[in-house]
Structure 1
Amino acid sequence: MTTAALESRAGRRCHNVLNTLHATSYFSPELGQEAAALGITHPRAVNFAVRSAALGPVGAGAVTAAFYNYKHELVARHVPAVWAIAAPEDVLAARARAADASLRRLLGAEAVTSPEMAEAAHLALRATEACSRSARPLYSAHADLPVPEEPHLAYFHAATLLREHRGDGHLAVLMSAGLDGLEAVVTHTATGKGMTPTWVRATRGWSEEDWDAACGRLRERGLLNEAGELTAEGVALRAEIENETDRLDRAPYDHLGTEMVARLTELGGRFARAAAVAGAFPADLIGKG
């Protein structure tokens, strides 16, 4: 089923709930435990290994390019050294085990084995049929991985594909807008929807001096004011970025169709809310503070 009448932000809303459930994996204790069993113990090394493993044993340059908003020096501390600790295929297997355990803990056994989960997995996988590999390295690498048999893991897999598909396109839009990796997260944080500066600096490797310098560049462009808030021009640019990202990410949701996008959004929203209520995310993760 296809449609030309899909509401402009329907795909974005659907992606957001799917991505929320995918993102729980990065904060799950199960992932740290599985990685530690392989010998990977540093939190940044875990993150780089888990998200880039589908690319194979790549070097720091490839990871910095694909992740976009991490400081290269931080990436280079852990990549490619992490592949001497554990092979990418072992990391991927560990991520699958962690996703299985964390989803069962966050959602409960009844939800994991429910008809609704199987339906959500079917719909999400159907959406991925219209994804494009061109200029999308993280999506394309994950698309080469087999689809798990269990519905909750198939749903996680599809959510990962759709996340990386939108994410790869989003990076192209950020580059076109003239925002480097740090400037992108500074402006996103300024919307109140991104991670706090504290979380960005801790996880992306940027110093306060780096952050202040990026703020200075954004002020010079008229995108940020002295209080660190977006100006009218900054608000307009962020809206333009999201709208262009929607355009580049429209195909999977057009392919699914209006009714099924609405249904997937409904189901995905239930699972995402349940995970959040179960404490999947740190309380101080999002905001301007």
Structure 2
Amino acid sequence: MTDRQHLTRALWTLFEPIHAVAYFDPEAREAFAAVGLPRYWDGYFAGRAAPLGAIGAAPVTAIFSGFAPSLVERALPAVWATVTPDAALEARSTGAAASLRALLPDTGAVARAADALSDVAAHADTVGRPLAAANRALPTEPDPYRRLWQATATLREHRGDGHVIALVAGDIAGLSTILLRSGLDLDATAMQRSRGWSDDEWQTALDDLVQRGLIGDDGRTTAQGTATLATAERLTNALAVGPLAHLDDAGLLELAALLRPLATAVGTLFPYPNPIGMPEPWDPESDPLAARIPHEPRA
């Protein structure tokens, strides 16, 4: 991993928790319930897929990766009989902003971070990245909390789309990824349940990975499986560099200085490790690479 890829991944840990509030903070989820989507997965799939329009289950299953088709089919396309995509977009923005406003009372700091991150999101290369493209095309929000969250959505989905590309390239997309991670550091029972996979589907995919030498007979990910995941992660990091290419390393650290206090405050909502694979927010002060970059410390 190059220095720039390292810094790009580090910055992801600062905007990912800000984005995650829309789907994991109970206050944010209340906005979906208010428009007739009280069930968690109905709100999740409607909110996250809404930038793509009134889309069906098959393309969402493919684009999101990792979810059982049957789980997605229970929500889509049925949710569009209850809410329009525009209403779902409004619900997710309203919920995310309410959550962030409660967690981040310094409106000035939020506005500065929103402006800086929106500039980065505007530089996102979206060819082959459907979720990033759809989110970047949404109108700019005047409210700083909404604008901050929307910028994180574009960048999070940009990285996520690239991650799916990397997993497909490694022939470990979909359920295979979950099984490999469950053989390392995630709770297999919780992951199977939350992603909607049946016992038969889980076992069939597990048997395939055992046959390929990526998982051992004990259910643990092998050295070969770990290396395959690491290769996909390196490609993910390489594909995520684009939106930050216009910033030099000092500019990257300036952006990190704006985001870290917000990410740290929001990060208290989440356990580490967590089911979405989100690391703890990066601390540039404890990173030897960051220490070597000349920059003006923020007061």
Q: State TM-score, norm by structure 1.
A: 0.88
The match for 1:267 among 248, 258, 263 is: 258
Give the deviation of 1:30 after TM superposition: 2.4
Q: 1:268 to 1:52 in 2, by over 3 A?
A: same
Give the deviation of 1:6 after TM superposition: 5.2
Q: How does 1:154-173 map to 2 (within 5 A)?
A: 154-173=147-166
The match for 2:242 among 229, 241, 251 is: 251
Q: How does 1:110-149 map to 2 (within 5 A)?
A: 111=106, 113-114=107-108, 116-149=109-142
- Measured on the aligned residues, the alpha-carbon RMSD in Å equals 2.1
Q: Is the partner of 1:238 in helix, strand or coil?
A: helix
Which deviates more, 223-232 or 46-55?
A: 223-232
What's 1:204 paired with?
Answer: 195
Give the deviation of 1:179 after TM superposition: 1.3
Q: 1:39 to 1:223 in 2, by over 3 A?
A: same
Q: Structure 1 stretches (4+) deviating beyond 4 angstroms? A: none
Which deviates more, 120-129 or 92-101?
A: 120-129
Q: 1:8 to 1:100 in 2, by over 3 A?
A: closer
What's 2:270 paired with?
Answer: 281
Query: With CA pairs under 8 Å and 6+ residues apart, which has the higher RCO, 1 or 2?
Result: 1
Structure 1: 5+ residue runs without aligned partners?
Answer: none
**Counterpart Cα distance in 2 of 1:220 and 1:23:** 35
Instruction: Report % sequence identity.
Output: 34
Give the deviation of 1:12 after TM superposition: 0.8
Structure 2: 5+ residue runs without aligned partners?
Answer: 278-299
The match for 1:64 among 57, 61, 84 is: 61
Give the deviation of 1:276 after TM superposition: 2.4
1:76-128 Cα distance to aligned partner (Å, 9 max, x none): 12111100001010111111110111112223x2x3x03x3222222211212
What's 1:217 paired with?
Answer: 208
Is 1:181 the counterpart of 2:174? The answer is yes
The match for 1:20 among 13, 17, 31 is: 17
Q: State TM-score, norm by structure 2.
A: 0.85
Q: Is the partner of 1:7 in helix, strand or coil?
A: helix
